[in-house]
Structure 1
Amino acid sequence: MQLRAYLIMAFIISSVCVIGFSFISLLISDQKIIKFDSWVIQLIQGLESPGLTSMMKTFTFIGSAPFVIILSILLMFFLFKVLHHGIELILFVTAILGSACLNGLLKNIFQRVRPDLHRLIDISGYSFPSGHAMNAFTVYGIITFLLWRHIPTKWGRSILILFSIVMILSIGISRIYLGVHYPSDIIGGYFASGFWLATLIWFFQFYKEKRYNKKYKSEI
């Protein structure tokens, strides 16, 4: 029954993400989201200050590939050496690599040019969906999933969730603030990563439950 609930939840989340991503991509293709993007960009960049710029550059670095690689290596070491979780390690590596491959594929499909309104940093490449948004959602989403069961208290789990949400949103907002992404790039990145994570966790839970049942029956 618990497996069924997990699978239904994962299916619903992945379906919502696919619908959301499709909706955003259609709006972008028909250029019907320009006003929304412009309004949000003006709102966020209207808060510009030297201190906030430094903070946003820090968040954008945290969502960059070099930082994600370092963080991933540390977590891989923790999963394998401390928790001795080989299967979870495979899940983590698959989530990170798969998200990066999916982002590259989607960028080449849509080939959206980056905004050129008020850039605070220089960057090349296509804009949609945001790689930083996908990195943030995937990394902190999978970290939350893997560490959840090891935190015994509700307040500890609440802090974990709150921390992950803050990091995901802050990294996404930093890309808009720095002028290298449209808000729709960030939203699309969240949806794409949400679909990937939900699908991956669906298969992971299914595999673990089947393996547990097989082991239980063999012991009886």
Structure 2
Amino acid sequence: MSVWRSVAILLLIFIFSAVTFTLIAISSNQYTESFIDAVIYDWFSVVDNDFTHVVSWVSFFGSGEVLMILTALLMLWLGLKRKSYYQTFFVAVVMGGGVLLNLSLKFLFQRDRPEDISHFEIFGYAFEWVSYSFPSGHAMRAFLFCTLMIYLIWLYVRHTRTKIIFSLLFVLLILFIGISRVMLDAHFPSDIIAAFVASLAWFTLCLAVFRSFYNKRLRKQQDQGLKLREGDTDMPK
């Protein structure tokens, strides 16, 4: 598949995700649960609530502190070990931009949480900003980080079976973190779904832009008879 064809597919996914997010946002009431929430709450009504302790640990993995540390470690590995500076910058843009996008959407929609009002908190320090519900920050961060891991696994790991196994594990982790936020009564289900599609839109847009830029840079260097640095050859083709 050519680079420009893959970019076109990524942009189509971005448009579909953005439209889906818009429809969810329109259907979600600012103060009460939507039709989607009511349906999913019916499903959760049959789930035993004895797993609250386990669910809390699953939810903790999507916290800003944990994913900030994991993202920093991932960037250090890419930059120092792999010498792949394009990939390092790509991770920084996806995760950093995703956090800013989530904050912007929260303040744009200002949907109250199912539970009491909470405030942003990181490493034990609470800010005076209200942490709104729509879309879920935990779900967005988890989706973006796990999607990055899946992307890097398919880029670097050679064995197909290993790629599939780890990809499925990260997909399950995304789902479990999203479910945990609903079970802990921290978010409406529509907050989680909106976070997933918003993250998919952001990731595909970033990947489309980076692939386009890399392809132009590669063509320019090939025309000039230059050789890419070893780390830069890991960018998607």
Q: TM-score, normalising length from structure 1?
A: 0.91
Aligned to 1:112: 111
Aligned to 1:156: 162
Is 1:14 paired with 2:14? Answer: yes
Aligned to 2:72: 73
Aligned to 1:185: 191
Pairwise mapping of residues 168-183 of structure 1 onto structure 2 (< 5 A)? 168-183=174-189
2:152 to 141, 146, 155: 146
CA contact (8 A) 1:134 1:193 kept: yes
Pairwise mapping of residues 58-97 of structure 1 onto structure 2 (< 5 A)? 58-97=57-96
Aligned to 2:2: 2
Cα distance per residue 1:138-195 (max 9 Å; x no partner): 1111222123111112111111320221111111000001001011000100111111
Aligned to 2:26: 26
Tell me the amino acid that sits aligned with residue 79 of structure 2: F
3-state DSSP class of the match of 1:219? coil
Tell me the amino acid that sits aligned with residue 39 of structure 2: W
3-state DSSP class of the match of 1:149? helix
- Structure 2 alignment gaps of length 5 or more: 120-130, 227-237
CA contact (8 A) 1:107 1:128 kept: yes
2:140 to 134, 139, 159: 134
Aligned to 1:55: 54
CA contact (8 A) 1:14 1:194 kept: yes
Note closer, same or farther for the CA distance 1:185–1:8 as it changes in structure 2 (3 Å cut).
Answer: same
Partners of 2:49 and 2:151 in 1: how far apart? 36
- Structure 1 alignment gaps of length 5 or more: none
**Structure showing the higher helix proportion among its residues:** 1
Aligned to 1:41: 41
**Structure showing the higher strand proportion among its residues:** 2
Aligned to 1:206: 212
Partners of 2:182 and 2:30 in 1: how far apart? 21
Cα distance per residue 1:120-154 (max 9 Å; x no partner): xx844210001011101111112221231111121
CA contact (8 A) 2:111 2:133 kept: yes
Taking only aligned residues, the RMSD between alpha carbons, in angstroms, comes to 2.0
TM superposition shift of 1:65: 0.2
Tell me the amino acid that sits aligned with residue 91 of structure 1: F
TM superposition shift of 1:36: 2.8
How many residue pairs match? The answer is 215
TM superposition shift of 1:197: 0.6
